[in-house]
């Protein structure tokens, strides 16, 4: 894969059609990853992007939420994944959610994009001064557990999470250790390209 093919970008109105297509694919597959966004992205997309950007700087956060930065992974103009980094943890996020969330569109899975995004979020957490990153996944989510393992995740606990309605695994990743290295392309080389 060419270095210029993968780009991790902040939400932008210029990717409106590409992001709607991304959400529509999840919706068509019955995948709940972005189910809550479907109405919003098909309505006022500008307001959706503005909300995500505001949340990154701690503006207009719902009660109990923490600032969180959102990024879209784009390949050749197509949104192939989305990820987020919560800037801090609440007790609720320690149980389920953690610092990082990520999702890859169904047709683009098993290509290394989730690993790329998680490594990128670890690097961003490190740049913000976070030394350990908490990542959670469902106990039955073998693919996500594999991604977390590749990125140096160490299983801390596994128990029923009322918020998730399932058994949740909680992993800690050392953001300053060797596994928290900068993101690389799934096919080698591409650095995190956020322009920062």
Could you report how far apart the first and last alpha carbons of the chain are, in Å? Answer: 22
Residue 155 within a domain: yes
Burial (Cβ within 10 Å: 0-12, 13-18, ≥19) of residue 113: buried
Q: Is the pLDDT reported for residue 111 higher than 90?
A: yes
Structural domain harbouring 91: 3-180
Separation in Å, CA 18 to CA 30, 60, 88, 128, 130: 19, 26, 30, 29, 32
DSSP 43-64: S-HHHHHHHHHHHHTT-SPPTT
| Domain tally, the chain | 1
Q: Is the pLDDT of residue 76 over 70?
A: yes
State residue 187's pLDDT score.
45
Angle separating helix axes 142-150 and 113-127, nearest 10 degrees: 50
Rounded Cα distance between 43 and 36, Å, is: 12
Please indicate, yes or no, if residue 24 is contained in any of the structural domains.
yes
Q: Does 196 reside within a domain? A: no
Q: For residue 82, what are its two tokens?
A: 């989305």
Q: Is the pLDDT of residue 18 over 50?
A: yes
- For residue range 153-183, list pLDDT tens digits in order: 999 999 999 988 999 999 999 998 755 444 4
Does residue 46 form part of some domain? yes
Give the CATH number of the domain where residue 161 resides.
3.40.630.30
């Amino acid at each position: 894969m060419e270095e210029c093919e993968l780009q991790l970008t902040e939400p932008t109105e210029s990717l409106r059609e590409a992001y709607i297509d991304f959400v529509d694919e999840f919706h068509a597959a019955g995948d709940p990853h972005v189910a809550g966004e479907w109405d919003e992205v098909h309505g006022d997309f500008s307001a959706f992007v503005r909300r995500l950007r505001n949340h990154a700087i701690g503006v207009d956060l719902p009660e109990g939420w923490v600032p969180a930065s959102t990024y879209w992974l784009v390949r050749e103009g197509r949104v192939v994944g989305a990820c987020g980094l919560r800037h801090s943890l609440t007790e609720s996020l320690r149980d389920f959610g953690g610092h990082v969330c990520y999702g890859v569109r169904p047709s683009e899975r098993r290509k290394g994009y989730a690993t790329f995004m998680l490594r990128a979020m670890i690097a961003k957490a490190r740049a913000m001064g976070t030394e350990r990153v908490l990542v959670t996944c469902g106990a039955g989510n073998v693919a996500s557990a594999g991604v977390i393992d590749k990125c140096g995740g160490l299983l801390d606990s596994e128990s029923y999470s009322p918020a998730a309605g399932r058994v949740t695994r909680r992993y800690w990743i050392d953001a300053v250790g060797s596994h928290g290295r900068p993101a690389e392309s799934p096919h080698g080389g591409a650095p995190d390209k956020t322009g920062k």
